[in-house]
């Protein structure tokens, strides 16, 4: 592949975690050339001082996020605060592939948007979870992609096969432990290292977290009829990773083998989903830095529930890896280009 | 209080985490004198080399765990591997208060014991969770106390008021994130710091963790009829603390106020349980080193579930603090002597 | 001790780490009554929402920091940003004991103050490191106390006995690894948990850290003539604790026994300094939450250097514990009242 | 590059951290084919259960480490306990490239070997630090390579340019903070997560750490005459990374610019060494998972010392990355093949 065949890519929000992770992945992607890097308050600064791990880009200076700096690229990744993507996207040509790592275009239901995010609903774009029923073909034709939230990605992938196969009642409970980078580079007291280290803390309990309607929307695609989801996130003292435990009441007698077969059928051909061997349970460190999803499922007969656990890196498969995966699909590249299933451990 | 009025206390397993934490608390307890400190493989070593934080006891040398070393004390705390307590306890006089931090005497149901622990059931002792219905009076008369498991303590306290008040169906789901000290000072690869840091990992999923029947037993004390519990533990990268999320389907329409009132009624007079103000959620670091339990409850109307979260220090309220609390009750001391509700943060 | 004999204590900066730790210690101090709690931007908030670990004070509401709120107490602790203490202190009566956890009054040398802090030098107060030559008697008579910086405390205590005994040339190198709470509850990107976890980072290298002149000042008290100090701090991923390695060229042949004897002579009567047995090295977790200092010393013959290591909790002995220790001395109480040498581990 | 042109590579010790990291890198290396994977006690197990992050190799079963399993490959990486490499290496053909991640062949001085490691000296092999004077050409011709220790790599690279340029006296002090993976997957109590988290601990103080003579040996290659090194390691609570602070007395007046120029001259052409812009200091997370070395240098005029700080990932540039880098050199491949300077952050 020679220079002229590379896709030109711009990244808005290059000083944040989503933007930084997109860049980390793009630096290893053979099909792209990294164009404009933009930021809000950090415009004018060297990337090296903000993202010191991105050595090959250390001397790049951030430009302001604008139509001028983002225009003229084949692909634009948006890593912006929610509410900021619509205006930028509207100004970019229809033939530009715009991949939004934010929430603005994830929900199809305007009422859910208004309830959980407030303000007017900007609409919805093709949803960047290729492993979910029917999304892959929509993504292949897309020039706009809404990258899923990190919790919805891991929660959906943990329980969707069981819901889709009718093994469980559509009454799903998810409790997910997340590393702090999921909250972004936000200067909030509870995200300080001195507060967060040695600490597991609950937040967004009781159905109020914004990712709740997105999980419901996803499971609605694999189930006819209402789905109810109780979602509880917590912060645990690590930078990256989400471990989600999802469970639901059994709809009928289900054996371990049957449950496993449903998951195997759903995931055996997925390049990034790794159904672990029986008896081995997911851990986040096995997927850190990778686009892999590790999944395991079991039946708790005494409790009458199916229990599934999934692990992802919230910044990779949960954000930037999914973004690159969707870019690959939309550009007609091999879906796995520039991505890996190999985590960084220990 | 002069010397002759102090209770003489021995600690078996003084080199382990439970034993070390018992000693940390006893060093601040005005009513006791620390007698024999015993260990298995570490007998003969200075305590200072094994528990360097216990400076006032640094030069004490560990004796072997035996009837000879443990006999003749008013109180004996046992911090032994499970299966080891029965023989030691049998050799100690009936008037010696024996407080067992292990699992041997927690379960009343021999079949549950055999299913989850294997081997013959040694019987059951008064159960050291004073906040659970009717336990306090039994403990006041006890000369043998079984200290609850850490997960059962936090899980039970999180959901028992809702179950007892009939607010929820007796179909409880608990997902609990624990620090590593809950696994003891065991030399297992997955407990190594290099494995555990930056890692959240699932284990004991699907109803197979040994603490499951203990939670069921506890909730059975506040509910007539069967209780089903789906319990999922996970390890998160911190030394101490458990954060448990417990939820169950609403039995009927329940308002936030009603749920809160049930918890307030159950806990307002409890010296160690702190029902947080509405909107504030538990975090483990607020209770580290203390005997406090922080609890919060809410109603997820859309999901039709009550969700409660509780935080404890697994080594304090989850083990050694409960042990000292029970000792206080059994000896007729003020229940809070030598214990605190003040955590060590940040 | 009945109510009327308790000293009334106010804490300015009660929402910060220094103030919170002072309160944690005062809650266990039998000789004081906690009066006004004040803050800057957090005035009007419940303490429980800011310092959830301080359960007994959860419902106290923070007042604004002012002469009105702080006046009329026997003791006032100041946990304020540097530059804010002088004005407040000037407004408090000369018979009020004012203990400043900030830097304003630590340095006697105005030129050093101006070089490292900028702005005019406010003067100096008795220096709150009782273990340093001749400080204890000055503190006993003081009504103003400057609590040392955390790095100067641990660095000074690590190497002062060797300097004082003439075992080493006065050319000291210190490299100290600190937990993040040493930086306070400051909202800076590099202090975010997602940045700090899994990360060791250098800062303030090359003699530019503000604590450098304070270490030099301290060592100057035990050595006639110039002392040079190369001080390098680093942040490591923990909330609390500093581990300092201090070394200096041997002034002459010195044996291990001789070095040890110098440290034993200096510290054997100090209630908070624990010279570890030969072969055992300090670790911060052994001192977390305590006022203890763990010290060890050795001779590296091949390198021709004496090497000493010391560990403290930066918030306790490094700040609030020292503050309470000095209060005890100044009030004529037992120096150890309300303080412990027992750390919280694991 | 088609199949027949790939070099066949075996890894002994594939269940350990060095072996696992070699495999992680080889999976991304376009010039090799992964052959036998061997282990000691873990032979017969699935790699997926021991190294769950290496998904593409999950179903490979570990063979016993022996001449039979390791023979017949182009390259053999040894990640064995020290003392085990010599025998295996002797049985492998002279034309097999053997890259030893252990210590057996690092030291040229038999007396130093015996003092620090005990037992007979096995000899020395070309030393795998290409950035050190004259090593690269020796490595190009080598069929045996001794990969440096992690501490010697970072310590040497931090201070060698200053020593080589005669800016400092050859009296070097190094204090290095390391993550726990540097200690390997050893089941020792102090390496447990519950002990290590929240803890900074000193060890190997006073010139007794085995890496001391290796640092001296390295600096001896850039300085005529004796070099003295005071080396102090510490463990800090992270999995990966070493941050080393190295300093030495100035040999004469040296300006910041002069110091910087010496480092730039030494490193500007090195593909893996990144001299940070003035004012930016190394942090380990910027290099995690990469083969990069971040370096910064300054002059402390008041202390009369040059101070340099360097950061590496102990498992990558400190072990497995260096091993692959040396393999590339010895096989005539581009030195950077399969390696990156891009770290994984946050």
- CB contacts of B240 in chain A (<8 Å) are 198
- CB contacts of B206 in chain A (<8 Å) are 298-300, 307
**C13 found inside a domain:** yes
Sign of the alpha-carbon torsion through D284, D285, D286, D292:
positive
For residue range A280-302, list pLDDT tens digits in order.
999 999 999 999 999 999 999 99
Q: Do A27 and D342 touch (CB under 8 A)?
A: yes
**B339 found inside a domain:** no
Q: Do C234 and D247 touch (CB under 8 A)?
A: no
Query: Is the pLDDT assigned to residue D179 strictly greater than 80?
Result: yes
Task: Give the SS3 label for residue B153.
Answer: helix
Supply the Cα-derived Rg of chain A in whole angstroms.
20
- CB contacts of C202 in chain D (<8 Å) are 243, 245, 281-283, 296, 309, 311
φ and ψ at A297, to 5 degrees?
Answer: -140, 145
For residue range D253-279, list pLDDT tens digits in order.
999 999 999 999 999 999 999 999 999
- To the nearest whole Å, the CA of B245 is away from the closest chain A CA by 8
CATH number for the domain that contains residue A134: 3.40.50.720
- CB contacts of D192 in chain B (<8 Å) are 180, 185-187, 191-193
Show the tokens assigned to B179: 């620090």
Q: Is A343 on the interface with D (CB under 8 A)?
A: yes
For residue range B261-287, list pLDDT tens digits in order.
999 999 999 999 999 999 999 999 999
- CB contacts of D304 in chain C (<8 Å) are 171, 228
- Half-sphere exposure of D197 toward its Cβ, with a 13 Å CA cutoff? 29
Show the tokens assigned to C150: 């955390």
Q: Is A228 on the interface with B (CB under 8 A)?
A: yes
Residue position matching structure tokens 């109590």: D189
- Half-sphere exposure of D171 toward its Cβ, with a 13 Å CA cutoff? 18
Q: Is A53 on the interface with D (CB under 8 A)?
A: yes
Query: Is the pLDDT assigned to residue B2 strictly greater than 60?
Result: no
Q: Taking residues D4-33, report their average pLDDT.
A: 96
Give the residue among C31, C28, C27, C34 at the shortest CA–CA distance from C10. Answer: C34
DSSP 8-state assignment for residue B241: -
User: Do residues C159 and C136 both lie within one domain?
Assistant: no
Q: How far does CA C339 lie from the centroid of its chain?
A: 14
Query: Is the pLDDT assigned to residue C134 strictly greater than 90?
Result: no
Give the residue among A105, A97, A157, A103 at the shortest CA–CA distance from A132. Answer: A157
**C343 found inside a domain:** no
Residue position matching structure tokens 């004897």: C261
Q: Do A20 and D289 touch (CB under 8 A)?
A: no
Query: Searching chain D, which residue's CA lies closest to the CA of residue B185?
Result: D189
Show the tokens assigned to D168: 């400092």
User: Do residues C26 and C121 both lie within one domain?
Assistant: yes
- Neighbours of A, requiring at least 3 CB pairs below 8 Å, are B, C, D
pLDDT tier at B1, thresholds 50, 70, 90: very low
Q: Do B195 and A285 touch (CB under 8 A)?
A: yes
- CB contacts of D51 in chain B (<8 Å) are none
User: Do residues D31 and D107 both lie within one domain?
Assistant: yes
Q: Is C344 on the interface with D (CB under 8 A)?
A: no
CA C103 – CA C109 distance, rounded (Å): 13
Task: Give the SS3 label for residue B297.
Answer: strand
DSSP 8-state assignment for residue B62: P
Give C113's contacts (C-beta < 8 A, 6+ positions apart): C107, C121, C213
Catalytic residue, from A57, A150, A326, A339: name it. A150
Residues of C carrying an active site annotation:
150
User: Do residues D122 and D235 both lie within one domain?
Assistant: no
Residue position matching structure tokens 């050795």: C298
pLDDT above 90 as % of chain B? 96
Q: Is D195 on the interface with B (CB under 8 A)?
A: yes
Query: Is the pLDDT assigned to residue D2 strictly greater than 80?
Result: no
Strand bridging mode C201-202 / C171-178: unpaired
CA A107 – CA D250 distance, rounded (Å): 63
User: Do residues A20 and A142 both lie within one domain?
Assistant: yes
Residue position matching structure tokens 């809070």: B336
Burial class (CB in 10 A: 0-12, 13-18, 19+), B166: middle
φ and ψ at B293, to 5 degrees?
Answer: -120, 120
Show the tokens assigned to A201: 């803390």
Task: Give the SS3 label for residue B237.
Answer: coil
* Backbone φ/ψ region at C295: left (φ over 0), alpha (ψ -120 to 50), beta: beta
CA A52 – CA A54 distance, rounded (Å): 5
pTM (2 d.p.): 0.97
Residue in C228, C245, C247 closest to D302 by CB: C228
- To the nearest whole Å, the CA of A183 is away from the closest chain C CA by 9
Give the residue among D106, D100, D191, D202 at the shortest CA–CA distance from D153. Answer: D106
Give A18's contacts (C-beta < 8 A, 6+ positions apart): A79, A101, A184, A315, A319, A320, A323
For residue range C76-86, list pLDDT tens digits in order.
999 998 889 99
Q: Taking residues B58-82, report their average pLDDT.
A: 96
**What is the predicted ipTM?**
0.97
Show the tokens assigned to A259: 């449950």
- CB contacts of D197 in chain B (<8 Å) are 180, 193, 196-197, 237-239
- To the nearest whole Å, the CA of C72 is away from the closest chain D CA by 40
DSSP assignment of A62-116, as one string?
Answer: PEEPSHHHHTT-SEEEE---TTSHHHHHHHS-TTSEEEE-SSTTT-S-HHHHHHH
Give the residue among D317, D298, D322, D320 at the shortest CA–CA distance from D308. Answer: D298
Best of A195, A201, A248, A344 to disrupt the B interface by mutation (most B CBs within 10 Å)? A201
User: Do residues C304 and C191 both lie within one domain?
Assistant: yes
DSSP 8-state assignment for residue C61: B
Query: Searching chain A, which residue's CA lies closest to the CA of residue C182?
Result: A194
CA D287 – CA D112 distance, rounded (Å): 31
Catalytic residue, from D150, D154, D244, D326: name it. D150
User: Do residues A75 and A180 both lie within one domain?
Assistant: no
Q: Is D109 on the interface with C (CB under 8 A)?
A: no
For residue range A235-279, list pLDDT tens digits in order.
999 999 999 999 999 999 999 999 999 999 999 999 999 999 999
Q: Report pLDDT for A4.
A: 57
Q: Report pLDDT for C2.
A: 44
Q: Is C187 on the interface with A (CB under 8 A)?
A: yes
Residue in B192, B198, B240 closest to D192 by CB: B192
pLDDT above 70 as % of chain B? 99
CA D24 – CA D315 distance, rounded (Å): 11
DSSP 8-state assignment for residue A343: -
**A342 found inside a domain:** no
User: Do residues C101 and C185 both lie within one domain?
Assistant: no
**D338 found inside a domain:** no
- Neighbours of D, requiring at least 3 CB pairs below 8 Å, are A, B, C
- To the nearest whole Å, the CA of B74 is away from the closest chain D CA by 32
Q: Report pLDDT for C83.
A: 85
Collect the ranges in chain A with pLDDT lower than 50. 1-3
In SS3 terms, A231-244 reads as EEEEECCCCCCEEE
CA B73 – CA B71 distance, rounded (Å): 6
User: Do residues B143 and B162 both lie within one domain?
Assistant: no
**C50 found inside a domain:** yes
Query: Searching chain C, which residue's CA lies closest to the CA of residue D172?
Result: C303
Mean pLDDT score across all residues of chain B: 97
User: Do residues A200 and A54 both lie within one domain?
Assistant: no
Residue in A195, A206, A241 closest to B200 by CB: A241
Q: Do C180 and A198 touch (CB under 8 A)?
A: no
Q: Do D181 and A346 touch (CB under 8 A)?
A: yes
Edge-first strand order for the sheet with C144-146 is C63-64, C32-39, C7-12, C75-78, C97-100, C144-146
Burial A173-206 (b: 16+ CB within 10 A, else e): bbbbbbbbbbbbbeeeeebbbbbbbbbbbbbbbb
Q: Is D205 on the interface with A (CB under 8 A)?
A: no
- CB contacts of C192 in chain A (<8 Å) are 180, 185-187, 191-193
Q: Report pLDDT for C94.
A: 94
Q: Report pLDDT for A1.
A: 40
Q: Is B345 on the interface with D (CB under 8 A)?
A: no
CA B260 – CA A254 distance, rounded (Å): 37
Task: Give the SS3 label for residue D78.
Answer: strand
CA A125 – CA A219 distance, rounded (Å): 17
Give D74's contacts (C-beta < 8 A, 6+ positions apart): D7, D8, D9, D96, D97, D331
User: Please, what's the largest Cα pairwise distance for chain C?
Assistant: 62
- To the nearest whole Å, the CA of C98 is away from the closest chain B CA by 24
Give C288's contacts (C-beta < 8 A, 6+ positions apart): B53, B344, C240, C241, C313, C316, C343, C344, C345, D198
CA D338 – CA D290 distance, rounded (Å): 10
CA A52 – CA C193 distance, rounded (Å): 17
Query: Is the pLDDT assigned to residue B3 strictly greater than 80?
Result: no
Task: Tell me the sheet residues that pair with B76.
Answer: B10, B98
CA B313 – CA B284 distance, rounded (Å): 7
Q: Is D28 on the interface with A (CB under 8 A)?
A: yes
φ and ψ at B260, to 5 degrees?
Answer: -60, -40
Mean pLDDT score across all residues of chain D: 97
For residue range C157-205, list pLDDT tens digits in order.
999 999 999 999 999 999 999 999 999 999 999 999 999 999 999 999 9
Task: Give the SS3 label for residue B295.
Answer: strand
Q: Taking residues B43-54, report their average pLDDT.
A: 98
**B302 found inside a domain:** yes
- CB contacts of B233 in chain A (<8 Å) are none
Q: Is C56 on the interface with B (CB under 8 A)?
A: yes
DSSP 8-state assignment for residue B190: G
CA A288 – CA A179 distance, rounded (Å): 11
Domains contained in chain B, number: 2
Burial D133-152 (b: 16+ CB within 10 A, else e): eebeebbeebbbbbbbbbbb
**D283 found inside a domain:** yes
The parent domain of residue A35 ranges over: 7-147+319-331
**B215 close to B148: Cβ distance less than 8 angstroms:** no
Give the residue among D197, C47, D237, A199 at the shortest CA–CA distance from B313. Answer: A199
Q: Where are the alpha helices (DSSP H) in chain B?
A: 17-26, 47-50, 67-70, 85-91, 110-117, 135-140, 150-164, 193-196, 212-220, 256-267, 321-331
CA D94 – CA A130 distance, rounded (Å): 50
**C168 close to C162: Cβ distance less than 8 angstroms:** yes
Best of B30, B51, B52, B315 to disrupt the C interface by mutation (most C CBs within 10 Å)? B52
- CB contacts of B294 in chain C (<8 Å) are 52
Q: Do C238 and D237 touch (CB under 8 A)?
A: yes
Task: Give the SS3 label for residue B99.
Answer: strand
Counting every residue written for chain D, the total comes to 346
Task: Tell me the sheet residues that pair with B34.
Answer: B9
User: Do residues C23 and C127 both lie within one domain?
Assistant: yes
User: Do residues B164 and B300 both lie within one domain?
Assistant: yes
């Amino acid at each position: 592949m020679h220079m002229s065949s590379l896709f030109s890519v711009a990244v808005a929000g290059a000083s944040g975690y989503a933007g930084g992770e997109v860049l980390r992945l793009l630096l290893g992607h053979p099909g792209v050339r990294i164009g404009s890097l933009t930021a809000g308050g950090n415009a004018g600064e060297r990337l090296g001082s903000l993202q010191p791990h991105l050595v090959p880009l250390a001397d790049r200076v951030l430009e302001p996020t604008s139509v001028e700096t983002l225009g003229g690229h084949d692909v634009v990744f948006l890593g912006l605060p929610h509410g900021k993507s619509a205006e930028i996207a509207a100004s970019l040509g229809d033939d530009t592939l715009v991949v939004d790592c934010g929430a603005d275009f994830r929900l199809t239901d305007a009422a859910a948007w208004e309830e959980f995010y407030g303000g007017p609903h900007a609409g919805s774009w093709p949803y960047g979870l290729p492993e979910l029923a029917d999304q892959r073909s929509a993504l292949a034709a897309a020039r706009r992609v809404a990258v899923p939230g990190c919790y919805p990605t891991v929660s959906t992938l943990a329980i969707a096969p069981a819901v889709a196969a009718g093994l469980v009642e559509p009454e799903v409970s998810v409790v997910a432990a997340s590393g702090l980078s999921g909250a972004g580079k936000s200067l909030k007291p509870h995200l300080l290292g001195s507060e967060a280290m040695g600490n597991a803390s609950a937040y967004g309990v009781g159905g109020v977290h914004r990712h709740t309607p997105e999980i419901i929307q996803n499971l609605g695609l694999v189930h006819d009829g209402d789905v109810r989801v109780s979602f509880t996130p917590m912060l645990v003292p690590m930078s990256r990773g989400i471990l989600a435990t999802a469970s639901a009441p059994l709809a009928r007698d289900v054996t371990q083998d049957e449950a496993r077969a449903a998951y195997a059928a759903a995931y055996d051909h997925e390049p990034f989903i790794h159904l672990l061997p029986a008896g081995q349970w997911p851990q986040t460190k096995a997927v850190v830095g990778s686009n892999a999803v590790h999944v395991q499922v079991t039946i708790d007969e005494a409790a009458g529930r199916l229990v599934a656990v999934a692990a992802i890196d919230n910044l990779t498969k949960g954000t930037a890896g999914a973004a690159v995966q969707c870019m690959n699909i939309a550009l007609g590249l091999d879906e796995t280009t520039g991505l890996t299933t190999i985590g960084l451990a220990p």
